[in-house]
Amino acid sequence: MIEIKITIDTALSLLLDRMKFELKLRQKQGVLKHGLRLENLSYKDLINLVEASVFDTVFLLPVDLITSETNLIQIITGTVRALAKVLHREEFLLYTTLQARKLIDPICNYFQDSLKENIYNYN
């Protein structure tokens, strides 16, 4: 197992930056009202932002980290739970490793299938 050494505080900082970026994109597209801040969003909108942000951030990681057995799920779970304190939403404390796994497994499967098909040999 590869252990990714990143603190929850650092991961939280990365997640919050990505969430703010994602919020601006959604406001620009008209999905969310302009002038809203993370603190003003409903839990449903927030969890959608969180999951989109985690998904995007995971895609930026090296493929080896995504396809190998790592502590990535635990990092994601801990980071999302830490949002409860930052955004003053207790609902985030209920975020489970199963939810994180459901988010990450499709990415893992995609890269594992791509590696099996040797798609990268032709780039």
61-120 pLDDT tens trace: 988 888 888 899 999 999 999 999 999 999 999 999 999 999 999 999 888 888 777 655
Give the CA distances from residue 37 to residues 42, 86, 102, 120, in Å, rounded to whole numbers and listed in that order: 10, 13, 27, 40
**CA atoms 52, 38, 85, 43: torsion sign:** negative
Residue 43 · residue 84 · CB < 8 Å = no
Q: Model-level pTM?
A: 0.87
**Domain extent listing, the chain:** 8-117
